[in-house]
Chain A
Amino acid sequence: MPRRLINRQPSKPTRVALGILPFLMLIAIYMMASHQRLLENPSDKLLPAMSSFANSIERMAFSENQRTGTYLFWDDTVSSMQRICIAVSISAFIGLLFGVANGAIPYIRAKLSPLITAISLIPPMAILPILFIVFGLGELAKVMLIVIGIAPFLIRDMQQRTLEVPAEQIIKAQTLGANSWHIILRVIVPQVVPRLISSVRLSLGSAWLFLIAAEAIASTEGLGYRIFLVRRYLAMDIILPYVIWITFLAFVFDFVLKKTSQKLFPWFHGSLKES
């Protein structure tokens, strides 16, 4: 008698093979469609052949740009990564600082919590013009857009996580002679930091969104800037590799955060089901 479908587990190699299959199918479908279109019209730009991708990547990433004398692809990558790393670090720090203060100290919460809720409801893209006016068109405005986009979410999440630290632990710490500062430093912060990492992982999607939006509007280099620039020439042979590269960078970012958290906080991951 075969077991029910929900109880059947694929073995590890099967799982890997099944995971790769949809990707291979997508690539195959793309290649067939591209082949068809190019047969009809060799100068079609919508679905370029693999060889055009290779050419473009070679041109963008492995040969000097004639005008600037640099490698555009890597310049774009470095400036985008710089922006997102700085912005995410600042946001995480703000999230931890204000979230824990709000969660742990009722007098601070009473003052700041309504304000932060209100700020978090402002659509960040709506105030992008204000950011450009106030901070100029330089790096600061782009970093600020990301910070304004994700920091309120992180603050609110950290506040919630702080409030979720069981009251029993806070009471226990007081009976052990800890003052408010000790409780924040030794009981609350170490317990919310791994949760901060998971919230940062969740907010990375929005961070990329805001980064690309800011670069698209006002920038002179960056992954988002390049995509929007070459859109004018329907350069799918550049846009698609850039999109795949951005996806890959986002994946690496997420993966590194996950592994770091598992390494640093075994007690947190030991009592949780992994996602």
Chain B
Amino acid sequence: MPYIAMKNVSKEYGDQVVLERLNNRVEQGEFITIVGASGCGKTTFLKMLLGTEVPSRGQILLENQTLSPEPDENRGIVFQRYSVFPHMTVLQNVLFAKEVAQSSLLGRLFGAKRKQAMEQSLSMIEAVGLSHAQNKYPHELSGGMQQRLAIAQSLIKKPRILLLDEPFGALDPGIRKDMHKLVLKLWRQYKLTIFMITHDIKEGFYLGTRLWVFDKIRNDPHAPNAYGAAITYDLPVGACEAKVFQEIDQNLSKTNTAQKNIGEQSNG
């Protein structure tokens, strides 16, 4: 039994077909990076895994159970921005999940329970390297530190799938490298199953165990919305050659140009 199975998953909005017949399976502990041209349904796919979108056809199974159609504790998410609570300190942000789990009326913990939850939260904060900032508010943190916080916040729930939506897209290259190290470390340490969207194809080749490329298989220039994207490459990371990398890069830029032309036509 696969951990996650996708069966004929399609997604369309009206006439616009975004994704077509995705069939794939993912085992527990895999780290999948997803790249693709803009508008090729990467984010839509992630939203279906997250539960904020449901497939138009087909289904996604997590250990043989259909995913619930709203976000829940099975899935953790780190967005590019805005995924920490600005009105809570670092510690309160991480503590939040523990508090709502144990206090259904107030969503707050007191006394011994709070102390225990604090200890767990503090060790999580330490794992992402934010111990020195535990009492700071997010606006006092740099972009990289905010993303570390967002990761800590999710990991304390021990999600069965961790979804990362271009988590490092807004960060400087140097900081991005540190974040890669951190994610790889946490992935091994907590045996996570990760899906990560990136538009940096090098990131895709460096991180994780599998690289998925989302692209349109067919393209009708007269009806650009008639065909959706699918997974065109499914590669084990570390075992492929530079030639493949170039090929993907070329294909994607072709799709990107095609879409840009369409965009310009429809705008003009």
Contact = CB atoms under 8 A, between A and B. Distances in A.
Interface in B145-172: 150, 153-154, 157, 159
B82 A169 contact: yes
Given A176-B154, A186-B107, A168 B100 contact: no
Given A168-B82, A185-B107, A186-B100, A176 B157 contact: yes
A264 to B, nearest CB: 11
Given A168-B79, A179-B104, A265-B87, A270 B137 contact: yes
Given A174-B70, A176-B100, A169 B83 contact: yes
B75 A175 contact: yes
Contacts of A181: 104, 107
A269 to B, nearest CB: 10
Interface string B68-93: 00111101110101111111100000
- Most-contacted residue by chain A among B70, B75, B83 (CB, 10 A): B83
A187 interface: yes
Contacts of B86: 191, 267-268, 271
Given A169-B82, A176-B154, A266-B137, A182 B87 contact: no
Interface residues of A, number: 25
A267 B72 contact: no
A271 B140 CA distance: 9
Interface in B114-165: 137-140, 150, 153-154, 157, 159
A256 to B, nearest CB: 22
B139 A270 contact: yes
Interface in A136-190: 166, 168-169, 171-179, 181-182, 185-187, 190
B73 A175 contact: yes
B106 interface: yes
Contact of B96 (A168, A186, A191, A268): A186
Given A175-B71, A175-B159, A182 B100 contact: yes
Contacts of A175: 50, 71-73, 75-77, 154, 157, 159
A186 B107 CA distance: 7
Nearest to A194: B87
A205 B84 CA distance: 36
A140 B177 CA distance: 65
B83 A179 contact: no
Nearest to B80: A168
A182 B107 contact: yes
A181 B103 CA distance: 11
B245 to A, nearest CB: 32
Contacts of A271: 86, 139
Nearest to A266: B137
A267 B139 contact: yes
B56 to A, nearest CB: 21
Given A168-B83, A191-B87, A178 B107 contact: yes
B217 interface: no
A270 B140 contact: yes
B82 A174 contact: no
B87 A267 contact: yes
- Most-contacted residue by chain B among A169, A172, A268 (CB, 10 A): A172
- Most-contacted residue by chain B among A177, A187, A190, A270 (CB, 10 A): A177
Given A176-B96, A178-B107, A179-B104, A187 B76 contact: no
A186 to B, nearest CB: 5
A268 B137 CA distance: 10
Interface string B172-207: 000000000000000000000000000000000000
A185 B96 CA distance: 12
A182 to B, nearest CB: 4
A149 B35 CA distance: 54
A172 B101 CA distance: 14
B97 interface: yes
7 contacts: A173-B85, A175-B71, A175-B72, A175-B77, A177-B101, A178-B96, A191-B85
Interface of B: 50, 52, 70-73, 75-77, 79, 81-88, 96-97, 99-101, 104, 106-108, 137-140, 150, 153-154, 157, 159
Given A173-B85, A186-B108, A271-B139, 4 more contacts: A172-B154, A182-B104, A182-B107, A270-B139
